[in-house]
Amino acid sequence: MSNFMPMLYAFWDSDITYSFRKSRVAVISALVLLAMFLTAIFAPSLAPQDPFNIAELDLFDSELPPAWAEGGSAAYLLGTDTQARDVLSSIMYGMRISLLVGFASVILAAVMGVALGLLGGFLGGIVDAVLMRIADVLLSFPPILVALLINGILRGALPSSAQAESALIVLILSIGLTNWVQYARTVRGSTMVERRKEYIEAARTLGTGKLAIMIKHILPNVLGPVLVIATINLGMAVLTEATLSFLGVGMPPTQPSLGTLIQIGNEFLFSGIWWVVVFPAAALAILVLAVNLLGDWLRDALNPKLR
């Protein structure tokens, strides 16, 4: 353990941490994100109310404005909606779902993309050719359309009774299956470069199986850019989920994500209870903004050309 302190110091002093410390934007974004993650994870304990537990709702308290406005109440900091659900609590639970779908779909896309990229890059030949063709076709369509289509197909394949419960899985699958292509392409490129290197040649001579080579040797070396893609992708995934929910084909009102909340609130835009839509929208915007800023910083920090 005597190596630990110098190692820690080296990390703290390294280029990337230095760049992080220097960038106020990156630090603030990271803190904001951390706060949001923690809120999402601990929502059940942190939220003043469980908005989906009917027993906790008191219809007398519906349509209350935020606490600082006239008629508001401190118990409901950001106001309530038409069914007396606390907006703040709804946002906390909603963020939970949004982040869950976001992360799960990014992981799905990354795993799938990296696996396919490794296969294509390493095996080459017809496997690679087919893969690249599929990737090209998929990339020529805007992701929202692909996600909508996959979503529509999956929902259509399920009986209507199961649609509400399976919405979460369907969403994760739709977004994940849309976004794997970037990972696959990058990993494939890196794999093709790595596989010609001598250490791979050496491993092959030693008789190591193809799968082992791919996982043990090539994979660690191609993971770098994957991280950057994943961070940028997270923002996109959250946005896509919100959009799908807003359009009515995502999370249902019984298990709303931030997007669903915005859709619900949208119905009441003209009746003057603006807080039901504005606060969830703000929360969503801040979340995606923080993710994007962090992703931007990460990309610049890891870009060898700018150093």
Partner 1 sequence: MFAFLIRRIIQAALVMLVVASIAFLMFRFLGDPISNLLPEDATVQDRAEMREKLGLNDPVLVQYGRFIADAAQGDFGQSYRNNRPVSDLLAERFPATAELVLVAAGLALALGVPLGIYTALNPRGWLSQGLQVISLLGISVPTFVTGILLILVFSVSLGWLPSFGRGKVVDLGWWTTGFLTVSGLKALILPAIMLALFQMTLIMRLVRAEMLEVLRADYIKFAKARGIPNRMLHFKYALKNTLIPVMTIFGLQLGGLIAFAIITETVFQWPGMGFLFIQAVNFTDVPVMAAYLVLVSFIFVVINTLVDLLYNVADPRLRAERTPARGV
Task: Please report, as ranges, the residues that interact with partner 1 according to CB under 8 A.
Answer: 137, 140-142, 144-145, 148-149, 151-153, 155-157, 235, 239, 242-243, 246-249, 259, 262, 266, 269-270, 274, 277-278, 281, 284-285, 288-289, 291-293, 296
Q: Kindly state the smallest distance separating residue 180's Cβ from partner 1, in Å.
A: 17
Q: Kindly state the smallest distance separating residue 273's Cβ from partner 1, in Å.
A: 11
Residues 6+ apart with CB under 8 A from 235: 288, 291, 292, 295
Q: Which is nearer to partner 1, 49 or 151 (CB)?
A: 151
Q: Kindly state the smallest distance separating residue 266's Cβ from partner 1, in Å.
A: 6
Q: Kindly state the smallest distance separating residue 135's Cβ from partner 1, in Å.
A: 13
Q: Which is nearer to partner 1, 221 or 292 (CB)?
A: 292
Q: Which is nearer to partner 1, 14 or 271 (CB)?
A: 271
Q: Which is nearer to partner 1, 114 or 294 (CB)?
A: 294
β-partners of residue 86 are 80
Q: Kindly state the smallest distance separating residue 140's Cβ from partner 1, in Å.
A: 6
Q: Kindly state the smallest distance separating residue 42's Cβ from partner 1, in Å.
A: 25
Q: Which is nearer to partner 1, 218 or 242 (CB)?
A: 242
Q: Which is nearer to partner 1, 54 or 153 (CB)?
A: 153
